[in-house]
Amino acid sequence: MDFSAAAALSAHSMQTKASVLAARGIGKTVKSGDADLVILRDIDLAVTSGEALAVVGASGSGKSTLLALLAGLDTPSVGTVMLDGVDLFSLDEDQRAQLRGRLLGFVFQSFQLLPALTALENVMLPLELARVDDAEARAREMLVRVGLGERLQHYPKHLSGGEQQRVALARALATSPGLLLLDEPLSALDARVRVRLRDEIKELQRRLGVTTVMVTHDQEEALSMADRIVVMNQGRIEQIGTPREIYEMPATPFTADFVGKVNVLPAIVEQGGVCRVGTMSLVLGRSDLISGTAVKLYLRPEDIALSMNGTTATNTLPATVAKVEFLGAFCMVGVALDTPGAPPLVLNVPRHAVAQAQLRPGTAVSVCLPPAALRILS
């Protein structure tokens, strides 16, 4: 399936559900000295009921500002945000605060637990402020759901970082919000805790069916936790799609390069579905491009096949190993193609295969660049 068809299918499936949150024509500009600094521009986005949406982008891309606008914590220069059918910015600040208290749950990078309160009391607090009956029973239930049933009376200083984040999550979910907003929720935790917690949050979100918008700089986190991903670049939405669409069918060079690792090969299209990279020719698997067009070929490291004995597969090229970087379960192998003008490539090779083939700098190999794996972006 090509990207346009996949995107259309994804968009159609989302339109069949009600939008809990929608941003229409959002822009944000601030003064920087005598100049106007554009933070966000032309943002159109709808979040459907029960969906987990991740917003990713480099520092300064506008993702945190977007989250603040979606929550009504900041005001756009132009555009509207509809929350549960209500125009957020047609309300005054007190009315927006009341709507947030009724519909939104927040989890922040810093956890924001009150140190003088126990885990149970931290979760009870928003329930008591909302005058919810049986606040203690509800708080206990949520802490049990996040695996802290035995830590109810512990103060934050006696909890690990992962446990504190679970308390923050339980507190956010305790009021049964219609929308959960997560701002870099796992970035302050170590790698092993992050992986475990992201799986737990994903499972809990789907079990409860709570609509979720998460901002993260961690692409792997977004790929594993989200139903759809919004890729942002310099204040604009670069692409919206499912994790598979974003990774396998990037619509722009930025998306291809930002989400995951990628090899980039500048090429010139020739006749007959072939392109030229340096002095070598590669079969593209498509013939709809105009001869002479300059393009870039994008190829994921895991899509390149390596052989020690040669092969007759299409786009098989001789190469020499330039470096081998051990990364645990696999090695990142850098190769130089034995063709003038060709850029170096990196590929993922299982560590046992590296050991079996005794790969080291200077080893002669063959690499295959499958036509179906070559993404063409002009």
User: Alpha carbon of 264 to those of 297, 301, 332, 378: distances in Å?
Assistant: 6, 10, 16, 12
Please tell me the total count of domains within the chain: 2
Any idea what the CATH number is for the domain that residue 190 is in? 3.40.50.300
32 against 378, higher pLDDT? 32
Give the mean pLDDT of 260-268.
93
119-129 and 135-145 are packed helices; what angle lies between their axes, rounded to 10 degrees? 130
Final residue belonging to a domain, choices 210, 227, 258 = 258
User: Alpha carbon of 18 to those of 181, 211, 240: distances in Å?
Assistant: 18, 11, 18
- Token pair in block for residue 212: 């979720």
Q: Cβ neighbours of residue 312 under 8 Å, at least 6 residues apart?
A: none
Comparing CA positions, the residue from 147, 105, 148, 159 lying closest to residue 127 is: 105
* Cβ atoms of 245 and 222 closer than 8 Å: no
Final residue belonging to a domain, choices 195, 224, 258 = 258
Q: What angle (nearest 5°) sits at the alpha carbon of residue 314, between those of residues 312 and 317?
A: 75
% the chain with pLDDT above 90: 67
232 and 153 inside one domain? yes
What is d(CA 165, CA 196) in angstroms, rounded to the nearest whole number?
Answer: 12
What is d(CA 45, CA 59) in angstroms, rounded to the nearest whole number?
Answer: 20
Q: Which residues sit opposite 277 in a β-bridge?
A: 280
51 and 69 inside one domain? yes
191-208 and 161-174 are packed helices; what angle lies between their axes, rounded to 10 degrees? 20
270 and 253 inside one domain? no
Give the mean pLDDT of 336-349.
92
| Residue in the block written with tokens 């690990």 | 160
Task: Report the pLDDT value the prediction gives residue 14, as an integer from 0 to 100.
Answer: 43
φ/ψ of residue 332, rounded to 5: -90, 115
Any idea what the CATH number is for the domain that residue 311 is in? 2.40.50.100
363 against 190, higher pLDDT? 363
Residues 135-186: tens digit of each pLDDT: 999 999 999 988 899 999 999 999 998 899 889 999 999 988 889 999 988 8
78 against 339, higher pLDDT? 78
User: How many CB atoms lie under 10 A from the CB of residue 114?
Assistant: 12
278 and 251 inside one domain? no
Residues 42-78: tens digit of each pLDDT: 999 999 999 999 999 998 999 999 999 999 999 999 9
281 and 221 inside one domain? no
Q: Which of 237-241, 276-280, 294-298 has the lowest mean pLDDT?
A: 276-280
Task: Report the pLDDT value the prediction gives residue 91, as an integer from 0 to 100.
Answer: 93
Could you give the residue ranges of the DSSP H alpha helices within the chain?
Answer: 3-15, 63-70, 93-103, 119-129, 135-145, 161-174, 191-208, 219-225, 243-248, 253-258, 351-357
- Provide the pLDDT confidence category of residue 236 given band limits of 50, 70 and 90: very high
319 and 200 inside one domain? no
Q: Any idea what DSSP says for residue 123?
A: H
Q: Any idea what DSSP says for residue 60?
A: T
161 and 277 inside one domain? no
What is d(CA 76, CA 65) in angstroms, rounded to the nearest whole number?
Answer: 9
Alpha carbon of residue 205 to chain centroid: 16
- Tell me how long the chain is: 378
Comparing CA positions, the residue from 298, 288, 300 lying closest to residue 267 is: 298
What is d(CA 332, CA 346) in angstroms, rounded to the nearest whole number?
Answer: 6
Q: Cβ neighbours of residue 254 under 8 Å, at least 6 residues apart?
A: 231, 233, 238
- Token pair in block for residue 145: 């759901």
253 and 267 inside one domain? no
Task: Report the pLDDT value the prediction gives residue 18, as an integer from 0 to 100.
Answer: 67
Q: Is the pLDDT of residue 1 over 70?
A: no
161-174 and 119-129 are packed helices; what angle lies between their axes, rounded to 10 degrees? 20
Task: Report the pLDDT value the prediction gives residue 377, as an integer from 0 to 100.
Answer: 82
% the chain with pLDDT above 70: 95
Give the mean pLDDT of 310-337.
92
Final residue belonging to a domain, choices 201, 223, 258 = 258
Q: Domain limits at 90?
A: 3-258
241 and 267 inside one domain? no
243 and 326 inside one domain? no
216 and 331 inside one domain? no
Q: Which amino acid is at 295?
A: V
Judging by DSSP bridges, how do beta strands 179-183 and 104-108 pair with one another?
parallel
133 and 253 inside one domain? yes
- Provide the pLDDT confidence category of residue 378 given band limits of 50, 70 and 90: low
Give the mean pLDDT of 116-137.
93
